[in-house]
Chain A
Amino acid sequence: MQLFNQTWVLFKKEIVLEWRSKYAFNGVLLYVVSTVFICYISFNLNPGFSGSKSYPVVWNVLFWIIMLFASVNAIAKSFMQESKSRLLYYYSIASPQAIILSKTIYNILLMSLLSILALLVYLLFFTNTIGDPLFYFLTVLLGSISFSTVFTMISAIASKAGNNGTLMAILSFPVIIPVILLLIRLSKNAMDGIERSFSYSNMGVLLAINVIVIATALLLFPFLWRD
Chain B
Amino acid sequence: MKFIYQTWWKVLAVLIILYTLIAGFLFGVPTLPILHETIRNTYFHVPMWIAMFTVFTISVVYSVLYLNTGKEEYDLVAVECVNTGTFFYVLGLITGMMWAKFTWGAFWSNDPKQNSAAIAFLLYCAYAVLRNSIDEEQKRAKISAIYNIFAFPIMVVLIMVLPRMTDSLHPGNGGNPAFGKLDMDNRMRVVLYPAFIAWSAIAVWIASLRYRIRLIEYKRNEIN
Contact A178 B119 (CB under 8 A): yes
Contact A175 B123 (CB under 8 A): yes
Contacts of A173 on B, CB cut-off 8 Å? Answer: 122
Contacts of B146 on A, CB cut-off 8 Å? Answer: 157, 220, 223-224
Residues facing B in A163-220 (CB within 8 A) are 164, 167, 170-171, 173-175, 177-178, 181-182, 201-202, 205, 208-209, 212-213, 216-217, 219-220
Contact A153 B116 (CB under 8 A): no
**Does B11 sit within 8 A of A, measured CB to CB?**
no
Partner of A160, one of B119, B143, B151: B143
Contact A174 B119 (CB under 8 A): yes
Which size class do A's interface residues fall under?
A: 20 to 34
**Does A93 sit within 8 A of B, measured CB to CB?**
no
Contacts of B27 on A, CB cut-off 8 Å? Answer: none
Q: Which of B133, B134, B139, B153 has the most CB of A within 10 A?
A: B133
Contacts of A209 on B, CB cut-off 8 Å? Answer: 154, 157
Contacts of A58 on B, CB cut-off 8 Å? Answer: none
Check A205/B165 contact, CB under 8 A, given A178-B154, A178-B157, A220-B150: yes
A178 and B139 alpha carbons, distance in the complex (Å): 29
Check A205/B139 contact, CB under 8 A, given A161-B130, A171-B147: no
Contact B143 A157 (CB under 8 A): yes
Check A170/B150 contact, CB under 8 A, given A178-B158, A223-B67: no
Contact B154 A212 (CB under 8 A): yes
**Does A162 sit within 8 A of B, measured CB to CB?**
yes
A208 and B157 alpha carbons, distance in the complex (Å): 10
**Does A227 sit within 8 A of B, measured CB to CB?**
yes
Contact A167 B150 (CB under 8 A): no
Interface size on B, residues (CB 8 A): 27
Chain A proximity of B75: nearest CB distance (Å): 13
Chain A proximity of B8: nearest CB distance (Å): 37
Chain A proximity of B213: nearest CB distance (Å): 26
A157 and B139 alpha carbons, distance in the complex (Å): 11
Contact A202 B165 (CB under 8 A): yes
Check A205/B161 contact, CB under 8 A, given A161-B130, A178-B154, A216-B153: yes
Chain A proximity of B219: nearest CB distance (Å): 26
Chain A proximity of B196: nearest CB distance (Å): 26
Mark interface residues in A103-133 (1 if CB within 8 Å of B CB, else 0): 0000000000000000000000000000000
Chain A proximity of B141: nearest CB distance (Å): 11
Contacts of A167 on B, CB cut-off 8 Å? Answer: 129-130, 133
Contacts of A170 on B, CB cut-off 8 Å? Answer: 126, 129-130
Partner of B149, one of A175, A201, A220: A220
Residues facing A in B50-108 (CB within 8 A) are 67
Contacts of B17 on A, CB cut-off 8 Å? Answer: none
> Which of chain B's residues has its CB closest to A175's CB?
B154
Partner of B116, one of A164, A178, A217, A219: A178
A217 and B150 alpha carbons, distance in the complex (Å): 8
A153 and B146 alpha carbons, distance in the complex (Å): 10
**Does B120 sit within 8 A of A, measured CB to CB?**
yes
**Does B15 sit within 8 A of A, measured CB to CB?**
no
Partner of B162, one of A178, A212, A213: A178
Check A171/B130 contact, CB under 8 A, given A205-B161, A227-B139: yes
Contact A174 B143 (CB under 8 A): no
Contact A162 B147 (CB under 8 A): no
Please name 12 further chain A to chain B contacts, defined as beta carbons within 8 Å, in addition to the given A171-B147, A223-B146, sorted by A numbering: A157-B143, A167-B133, A170-B130, A173-B122, A174-B151, A178-B119, A178-B154, A201-B165, A216-B150, A216-B153, A220-B149, A223-B67
Please give the residue numbers on chain A whose beta carbons come within 8 Å of chain B beta carbons, in ascending order: 153, 157, 160-162, 164, 167, 170-171, 173-175, 177-178, 181-182, 201-202, 205, 208-209, 212-213, 216-217, 219-220, 223-224, 227
